[in-house]
Amino acid sequence: MIGITSYGAYIPRLRLDRMAIFQAMGWFAPAIMMVAQGHRSMCNWDEDSITMAVAASRDSLCGTDKKKLDGLFLASTTLPFADRQNAGIVSAALNLKENILTSDFTSSQKAGTSALVAALEAVRGSGLKNILVTATDRRETKTAYFYEMWFGDGAASVAVGDKDVIAEFKGSYSVSYDFVDHYRGSSKKYDYVWEERWVRDEGYSKIIPEAINGLMKKLGITIDQVDKLVFPCFFKAEHSNIAKKLKASPDKVVSTMHETCGDTGAAHSLLMLVSALENAKPKDRILVAGFGQGCDALYFEVTENITKLARRNGVKGSDKNKKVIDNYMKWLKFRDIIQTEMGIRAEAPTQTAMTALWRKRKMLLGMVGGKCEKCGTAQFPKMDICVNPACGAVKSQIEYEFADVPAKIKTFTGDLLAVSVDPPHKYGMVQFEGGGRFMADFTDCDFEDLKVGLPVQLVFRKRVEDKERGFINYFWKAMPVPGAAEEMGKVRFDGRVAIITGAGAGLGRVYALELAKRGAKIVVNDLGGSRDGSGTGSSSAADRVVDEIKAAGGEAVANYDNVATPEGGERIVKTALDAFGKVDILINNAGILRDKSFLKMEPENWKAVMDVHLTGAYNVTRPAFKAMRDNGFGRIVMTTSAAGLYGNFGQTNYSAAKMALVGLMNTLKLEGKKYDIKVNTIAPLAASRLTEDVMPPEIFEKSKPEFVAPMVVYLCSEECRESGAIFNSGMGYYNRAAILTGPGIKLGDAGKPPTPEQISENWNSINSMEGAKETEDANSAIFELIAPPDTGKKDAGEQKGAGPDVKGIFGKMTEAFNASAAKDVDAVFQYVISGSGGGNWYVTVKDSKCTVTEGMAEKPTCTLKISDGDFVELITGKLNPMQAFTSGKLKIEGDIMKSQLIGKLFKLN
């Protein structure tokens, strides 16, 4: 069987919005509005027919052994060299073998299909078994012209052969006429086009049906035996008319792609064929025709092999990566239609030495470097001495192709002084995976897109054009991998191995799916037991989740062990080590419930819950922690619960087990610190079988596990620097819970412990959480006991004897009243003094007199709220009133301005 064995396409990333053409030139040529839909593809300034052909060919060759190619046919009407074989440049760029037949097919829009027929017939009749046919075109048009709207740039590539055929070649039929609908004189840049009506009526609508009908007659088929009909025609209505004439229903007719890229000349029939193949299923029959001074028609039947093709960009991938621009001036500049001042730096010599190009052809055109056979170091360019200082071997390098090796940006710059058609000139160092570096120009990107670490791929582009001698110098450049910038900011787990216990359902399942989606390899542990942990369990829960992960393209293995036994824990970790070689992440999630009020909480229910939650976490964490320590990296997430953190009626067993996990975390965070093992705890709230009967139905509906997963996934990531923290998470609300310690008070001394009465008297200071803080570890807590921080709080009992008390101060208030300052003052000052020595008093100032009353005034002018100790300090001058107010120790409600009179009205100290 002979036929198509692979396909590929390349449409440039840039697309010019056709409305931009109309907006710029509609004043001159209003009729172009009729075809101003969508956008046309346009080459970047450094792209031409050769570079597009290389890109489409690489796409077609992906997943195949390119050394098996016996021939390369290049079809185009815009080849940069009239006498230097252009197919030879493409072959050198692809680094194909040297004993290969290369040939250019040109001078007609049907050159692509003619090259394809020639290749298929060569495979049928000669010793050439695998031929790559690539068609490409970048046609020039004058501005403000229909053809500027209709045309697009692009390339398509089809490999043909006699093995692994994806579309069997059934036959072809060609007609040839010297029908001059347009022509391009050999010294001219632009096409000369005859009247459209004539081109349509006498050309497209007669010649294409003639060839297609001729083929159907030759093969004895009818149009009913065609599932996809491919033929170009940029006159939209005429395209439909031709299909009608052939009696092909509209659903069979493959789109001309006017809206997405425009007509790509000699490449267009093959580009439409690639689009048809992308959407084809086995047994589909495709008829493709190419038009231009006659017509070629070919018929194919798709085989099962199409389902086995490696993933490629194709037309769909090119479209996904498109960037639509509306800058018509940029189009003119990139097309060299307008002349801009390029500065004297642009006058630097651009001549290429053919001797050097020949000697270094593999390096310059094929991006071939070297790899040391002794130490394996890769380097570009290939040299006589290995670049590895520890090796330094001489003449040890074998050829090593860099063009397809993944790379990342190591450094970059944007240079506004350097000559560039699309300033700033962007260049920098790229680092190849597996070794080797390369100083590259960056293309198909804006300066803002570049980032250190951004994945890039190499592309074959024009480097400089020697206009004086008509020579184009090609080289490899780096372009950001499409979509990589968006991926870069994402939390990823590529190469990481995660164990999730109880991942067969509920929260664990969602954690597993999300981590797998982000690149982690997963051990899905689940016993598959009942909600209360009774019964023997089943493997189906874990298996289902593993299937889900695999179906989404991830990697996972199942484990059915019980976390509640030490052997189970060991086996779960062993599953990860056996399958993936390491453990990076552990989420202790498995859980059961056995709720009972405390007196009914029999030992077996207590023990069952402790065994799964607390002992289960211990059983799995211990061997996992060892594996993480050996790796120098680990992320562990414990699962607590609001029941443990705050209490919940009927869950003494569960609360105790869940809070014990916080204790496990507190110490493990210390032991894991030096190995970059971070341990955190999640307190989730999510709809699952554990909560369906304890949650109100309306909350159950709103709380999907998917709202908890982002927090857990973050805690498992390299980006997470936190360790030893607890996070509540559910329904899209996330906050931190912590164990805090209040500032307290130092009572008694070493020789004399305080009395219970002192505890009572100082209860407010002991109990206060004002200024409470977290404590790093037990040692820090003990240190604070030995040397408590000076909180400024004094024993309330001692203060009574030693200085004025609150009551005493109010007793002396009338004595301290300064009547001379009270002229015209009419105010009631209410004091609310907190603490054991506090109480409520109000001071009335009226008619230059003052009265002090215990209790609350009916309508105070202002109310001052302060603690007993702070009040004493304020009155005795130890605490500045303004400081007391700004620090929050003193709170004033009501008329704040009046409160400022107090200092003048009373002289107490």
Q: Where are the beta strands (DSSP E) in 92-213?
A: 101-105, 130-137, 154-161, 167-176, 182-183, 192-193
Site for ligand NAD in 785-844 (CB under 6 A): none
Q: With contact defined as beta carbons under 8 Å apart, do 306 and 165 qualify? A: no
Q: How far is the C-alpha of 909 from the C-alpha of 903, rounded, in Å?
A: 11
- Residue 645 in the binding site for ligand NAD (CB under 6 A): no
255 secondary structure, DSSP code: P
Count interface residues toward ligand NAD (CB under 6 A): 33
Site for ligand NAD in 452-511 (CB under 6 A): 501-502, 504-508
Cβ-based nearer residue to ligand NAD, 257 or 585: 585
**Shortest Cβ 518–ligand NAD spacing (Å):** 20
Cβ-based nearer residue to ligand NAD, 702 or 907: 702
Give the burial class of 46: count Cβ atoms within 10 A of its Cβ; 0-12 exposed, 13-18 middle, 19 or more buried. buried
From 78, 103, 269, 525, residue interacting with ligand NAD (rule: CB under 6 A):
525
Cβ-based nearer residue to ligand NAD, 294 or 529: 529
817 secondary structure, DSSP code: B
Interacting residues of 274 by C-beta distance below 8 A, sequence separation 6+: 7, 8, 9, 156, 157, 158, 314, 315
**Shortest Cβ 686–ligand NAD spacing (Å):** 4
308 secondary structure, DSSP code: G
Tokens encoding 621: 């964490």
Q: How far is the C-alpha of 828 from the C-alpha of 838, rounded, in Å?
A: 19
Please pick, among 147, 173, 328, 654, the residue that the annotation labels catalytic: 654
Site string for ligand NAD, 601-620 (x = CB under 6 A): -----------x---x----
Q: How far is the C-alpha of 902 from the C-alpha of 890, rounded, in Å?
A: 14
Site string for ligand NAD, 666-685 (x = CB under 6 A): ------------------xx
CA distances from 578 to 574, 575, 582, 583, 817 (A): 6, 5, 8, 10, 86
**Shortest Cβ 606–ligand NAD spacing (Å):** 15
Exposure string (b/e) for 446-478, b if CB count within 10 Å is 16 or more? ebeebeeebbbbbbbbbbbbeeeeebbebbbbb
- Residue 590 in the binding site for ligand NAD (CB under 6 A): yes
Q: Quick count: other Cβ atoms within 10 Å of Cβ 337?
A: 14
Cβ-based nearer residue to ligand NAD, 49 or 562: 562
Q: State the amino acid at position 442 in one-letter form.
A: F
CA dihedral 717, 721, 727, 730 (to 10 degrees): -40
Cβ-based nearer residue to ligand NAD, 408 or 571: 571
Cβ-based nearer residue to ligand NAD, 440 or 725: 725
Cβ-based nearer residue to ligand NAD, 109 or 639: 639
Is residue 654 annotated as part of the catalytic site, yes or no?
yes
Q: How far is the C-alpha of 165 from the C-alpha of 628, rounded, in Å?
A: 49
Q: How far is the C-alpha of 572 from the C-alpha of 563, rounded, in Å?
A: 8
**Shortest Cβ 883–ligand NAD spacing (Å):** 45
3-state secondary structure of 565: coil
Cβ-based nearer residue to ligand NAD, 127 or 697: 697
CA distances from 53 to 74, 79, 104, 137, 476 (A): 8, 10, 12, 9, 14
Total residue length of the chain = 909
Q: With contact defined as beta carbons under 8 Å apart, do 270 and 231 qualify? A: no
Tokens encoding 27: 């004043």
**Shortest Cβ 661–ligand NAD spacing (Å):** 9
Which candidate, 141, 146, 291, 132, places its Cα nearest to that of 205? Answer: 291
- Residue 528 in the binding site for ligand NAD (CB under 6 A): yes
Site string for ligand NAD, 702-731 (x = CB under 6 A): ------------------------------
- Residue 623 in the binding site for ligand NAD (CB under 6 A): no
Sheet holding 397-401, edge to edge: 378-379, 368-372, 397-401
**Shortest Cβ 583–ligand NAD spacing (Å):** 17
- Residue 691 in the binding site for ligand NAD (CB under 6 A): yes
Cβ-based nearer residue to ligand NAD, 693 or 798: 693
Cβ-based nearer residue to ligand NAD, 155 or 708: 708
**Shortest Cβ 735–ligand NAD spacing (Å):** 15
**Shortest Cβ 588–ligand NAD spacing (Å):** 8
**Shortest Cβ 502–ligand NAD spacing (Å):** 2
Q: Which stretch binds ligand NAD (CB under 6 A): 153-161, 181-189, 645-653, 689-697?
A: 689-697
From 233, 298, 520, 527, residue interacting with ligand NAD (rule: CB under 6 A):
527
Site string for ligand NAD, 550-589 (x = CB under 6 A): ------------xxx------------------------x
**Shortest Cβ 558–ligand NAD spacing (Å):** 12
Q: How far is the C-alpha of 578 from the C-alpha of 87, rounded, in Å?
A: 50
Cβ-based nearer residue to ligand NAD, 481 or 642: 642
Q: With contact defined as beta carbons under 8 Å apart, do 607 and 628 qualify? A: no
Q: Which stretch binds ligand NAD (CB under 6 A): 67-75, 137-145, 454-462, 525-533?
A: 525-533
Q: Which stretch binds ligand NAD (CB under 6 A): 352-360, 526-534, 709-717, 882-890?
A: 526-534
**Shortest Cβ 533–ligand NAD spacing (Å):** 5
**Shortest Cβ 621–ligand NAD spacing (Å):** 14
Cβ-based nearer residue to ligand NAD, 54 or 712: 712
Q: Which residue is nearest to ligand NAD (CB)?
A: 506
Which residues, in sequence order, are bridge partners of residue 733? 730
| DSSP secondary structure letters along 571-635 | HHHHHHHHHHS---EEE--------B-GGG--HHHHHHHIIIIIIHHHHHHHHHHHHHHHHT-EE
Helices (runs of H) and strands (runs of E) counted in the chain:
32, 38
Cβ-based nearer residue to ligand NAD, 418 or 695: 695
Q: How far is the C-alpha of 837 from the C-alpha of 761, rounded, in Å?
A: 9
Interacting residues of 269 by C-beta distance below 8 A, sequence separation 6+: 110, 112, 113, 135, 230, 231, 232, 288, 289, 290, 291
From 639, 729, 830, 867, residue interacting with ligand NAD (rule: CB under 6 A):
639
**Shortest Cβ 612–ligand NAD spacing (Å):** 5
Q: Which stretch binds ligand NAD (CB under 6 A): 22-30, 137-145, 688-696, 856-864?
A: 688-696
Residues identified as active-site? 654
Residues that bind ligand NAD (CB under 6 A): 501-502, 504-508, 525-529, 531, 533, 541, 562-564, 589-592, 612, 616, 639, 641, 684-686, 688-691
